[in-house]
Amino acid sequence: MSKLLPALLASLSVNMMAAAASDAADLYPWRNHAAPFEFLFGNDIDTHQQTRRMRDGSLYGFFYVRHTGVVTKDGQAVATHADCSAVTDCTVGWALAGKPTNAALLYEVMHDHPVFLVSRQDIPQPGGYTHFHWLGAAMPAQRATAAGYLLQLTAADSFCFIHHEAEMARSNKTCRENGGIGVTLGSDNATHLNIVTGAPPGM
């Protein structure tokens, strides 16, 4: 089974490119971390991810969104993360793959992801591993090294992703004007990008 799952998910990622957006809900329903997708980071990301840790330490799984019902002026359905244990309409937004590594917190940004410093040599190749997420309940201290995973996201649907305050989105504005990022089927390096490989002295 451990060898079958990565192959299955790799095949799934390819098939998602050609899948209709309406099929996203069918990929893998939210089951509140039931086996085999029972890996937990131990913090808020667990409210909208279901992944499995493989024997080599890597992760495979799914990242979920909830559609708000708003469609932007440029025809994109607005979606955001939600606590999928508290609602009934979460769907798969992305398939994800993760590789274990360490990173140091540089700074936090209001309404955006905290920015982490990673070694360029630790970024897996090939791929699009652009998001670091730490393990444990507490946010790492600034400049402190934390264990976690670099995540690669493959969009399973097309939508306008708004990470915070998605309920403020308006249908008379484009996705961009609403502060969103247009997501299309395939590799996504924009919505959750939060790593850099260098920082100014003293930061």
Residue 201 maps to a domain: no
pLDDT confidence bin for 203, thresholds 50/70/90: low
Q: 60 near 54, Cβ under 8 Å?
A: yes
pLDDT of residue 1: 46
Q: Is 178 helix (H, G, I), strand (E, B) or coil?
A: coil
Residue 20 maps to a domain: yes
Residue 203 maps to a domain: no
Structure tokens at 57: 């330490």
Domain count, the chain: 1
Q: Which domain holds residue 192?
A: 4-196
Residue 43 maps to a domain: yes
pLDDT confidence bin for 109, thresholds 50/70/90: confident
Q: Is the pLDDT of residue 19 over 50?
A: no
Selection from 63, 53, 150, 153 nearest residue 100 by Cα: 150
Give pTM, 2 decimals.
0.86
Residue 58 maps to a domain: yes
Whole-number CA gyration radius for the chain = 17
